[in-house]
A and B are shown apart, each in its own frame.
Chain A
Amino acid sequence: MSDAPILALDNVSKIFGRADNPLYAARDVSFALHSGRTLALVGESGSGKTTAARLIMREYFPDKGQLLFRGAPMGKADSKALKAYRSSVQMVFQDPFASLNPAHTIHYHLDRPLRLHQRGLSRAQRRAAVEELLQRVKLDPGQLMAKFPHELSGGQRQRISIARALAVNPQVIVADEPTSMLDVSVRLGILNLLNDMKRQLGLALLYITHDIATARYVAEDIMVMYAGQIVEWGDMEAVLGNPQHPYTRLLLSAVPDPDRRFSEAGAELDQIETIRRQSALPQPDIRQVADNHFIRPMP
């Protein structure tokens, strides 16, 4: 963790609703993405995971705090700066059926980012680049280039989404639930692909999921989010092995685990409502549990 982060959120809040009844979709969120590392963001629906992704993708602007790219704050950038930012930060979406245009071929999907972001390339060079991208995500270019999204399986489409994100040579990829709609055997292939990309291309990955087991497979670090706040974060094994925040404990005790029968439920499951209510309150303090393991204690 010695190298400087590529991208960081610094005390960012995003507030929806009116001033007299504000809803904090993100409250004092801080984290950093480093090259060659994956950070997992876990939490239930509505906890603010996708808000964090949208803040990074510049779809939302922070109401408080700032977004730092290579150490420099990103303001409301002009379109040129935004374009440069987009060629560094890319996103892979959850639904492989909805995120590709049904009216265009696979070749079009991968050619377009190249046309937009690498103007100097000739048609032949772009074609070679598309072939290389498809090989990188372990698909057969000859077979797939002329096909349309509906002719592909869910796993193949998600590989196309990853190839499309890689087309601009990004440094950061935000993957929002990239495997939740795929079967287990297909899912593993996508997770392996994300791991390969991180190692081979030195990408910084933000892996957003509600599935903690897959997070453990791809990420070195983890953040647990609830009601817009990161309640616990740090090294994956440290957090999973010694969860300190009641909400993290609740989440972990609810995750399907074949080693535990239902009768061996943790104490947290008896106090779901209390834990939820308390965890939603602002938790301004930060306590360090271990070298790389922090929580925001409940008030």
Chain B
Amino acid sequence: MTTPVLSVRNLNIDYIGAETDFHAVKGVSFDIAPGELFGLAGESGCGKSTIAFAVSRLHRPPALIRKGSQILVDGRDVLTLDDAELRKFRWREVAMVFQSAMNSLNPVLTIEDQFYDVLRTHTGISRAKARTRAAELLKLVDISPDRLSAYPHQCSGGMRQRIVIAICLALNPKLLIMDEPTTALDVVVQREILQRIDVLRKQLGFSVLFITHDLSLMVQVSDRIGIMLEGELVEVNDAQTIYRAPQHAYTRKLWASMPRLHGTQITGEVTP
């Protein structure tokens, strides 16, 4: 078996409070293989974003990653990296697309400058070379290179989201983390973007950790899915099993709560 790109082992994360701590992630372990699209699903507050933040080491106090937790990217423990190593690690090995990422572009810089910012910091290449690379990256996400001179407010929400994805791919990361990347977008735009991601990950070979609360969407795009409930990973299975033969009672409950587009409608009775 090939080494997994991401291997999370016994991850425990607490949010430290004045009186009590909140145990947000409880002993979570999972692997993501090279080129795999792994989905993490669950309702608000179940700890899915907390895991994503831990993998890119973005947590600050009061979040505390407990001793004994391991996050291995390509065999190296992310939790032991020092600041200099961390700077090299982020973007080059793991890049992250945030929820409402389309609002994370700097409003006073052109699209080209935002690419240059990343490329200069991480590779130190010249302005002209950065421009060529940025144009290439934009083409990957179906945006015309004319847009390089545009400002974020001149682009639609879907376009901005695709630009953020292109910037994330600038250094050929091994793992792309996407935390609810299309929640704020329309279904048609959402479909365009995810279809593009699906093509790109097969073409470029990166893995994806995809986080969403939309289970139907997740079954469509993911290879394997993990279902989270109150900080625990209660079921991990391939996407079709999660849909057709869910093993955990909570997974079944989630499906029973989701109105169907075709066929027999759900009964509307869910035992809590």
The residues of B that contact A217 with a CB separation of less than 8 Å are: 259, 265-266, 268
Closest 8 CB pairs of A and B: A217-B259, A256-B217, A258-B219, A44-B186, A256-B216, A254-B191, A183-B43, A188-B257
- State whether A250 and B261 are in contact (beta carbons under 8 Å apart), knowing that A185-B270, A257-B220 are contacts in the complex: no
A258 and B215 CA atoms in complex are apart in Å by: 8
Residues of B within 8 A of A (CB): 43-44, 186-192, 194-195, 198, 213-217, 219-221, 243, 253-254, 257-262, 265-266, 268, 270, 272
A168 and B216 CA atoms in complex are apart in Å by: 38
Residues of A within 8 A of B (CB): 44-45, 183-185, 187-188, 191-192, 195, 210, 212-214, 216-217, 240, 250-262, 265, 269, 272
Query: From residue B213, how far is it (CB to closest CB) to chain A in Å?
Result: 7
A257 and B188 CA atoms in complex are apart in Å by: 13
The residues of A that contact B262 with a CB separation of less than 8 Å are: 240, 257, 259
- State whether A213 and B190 are in contact (beta carbons under 8 Å apart), knowing that A258-B243, A262-B195, A262-B220 are contacts in the complex: no
19 contacts between A and B (CB under 8 A): A44-B188, A184-B43, A187-B257, A188-B266, A188-B270, A213-B259, A213-B261, A216-B259, A252-B261, A254-B187, A254-B191, A256-B217, A256-B220, A257-B216, A257-B220, A258-B219, A259-B262, A262-B198, A272-B188
Q: Are A45 and B265 in contact (CB under 8 A)?
A: no
B182 and chain A: residue at smallest CB distance: A256
The residues of B that contact A188 with a CB separation of less than 8 Å are: 257-259, 266, 268, 270
Q: Are A210 and B191 in contact (CB under 8 A)?
A: no
- State whether A254 and B188 are in contact (beta carbons under 8 Å apart), knowing that A185-B43, A261-B220, A269-B195 are contacts in the complex: yes
Query: From residue A49, how far is it (CB to closest CB) to chain B in Å?
Result: 12
B269 and chain A: residue at smallest CB distance: A192
Query: From residue B191, how far is it (CB to closest CB) to chain A in Å?
Result: 4
Number of interchain pairs (Cβ within 8 Å)? 89
When the two chains form the complex, which single residue of B191, B253, B261 contacts A185, counting CB atoms closer than 8 Å? B253
- State whether A184 and B221 are in contact (beta carbons under 8 Å apart), knowing that A258-B216, A262-B198, A265-B195 are contacts in the complex: no
Q: Are B213 and A254 in contact (CB under 8 A)?
A: no
Query: From residue B188, how far is it (CB to closest CB) to chain A in Å?
Result: 4
The residues of B that contact A195 with a CB separation of less than 8 Å are: 268
Query: From residue A122, how far is it (CB to closest CB) to chain B in Å?
Result: 38
- State whether A255 and B213 are in contact (beta carbons under 8 Å apart), knowing that A44-B188, A262-B194 are contacts in the complex: no
Q: Are B257 and A185 in contact (CB under 8 A)?
A: yes
Query: From residue A278, how far is it (CB to closest CB) to chain B in Å?
Result: 14
B263 and chain A: residue at smallest CB distance: A259
Q: Are B253 and A269 in contact (CB under 8 A)?
A: no
A262 and B239 CA atoms in complex are apart in Å by: 13
The residues of A that contact B189 with a CB separation of less than 8 Å are: 44
The residues of B that contact A259 with a CB separation of less than 8 Å are: 262
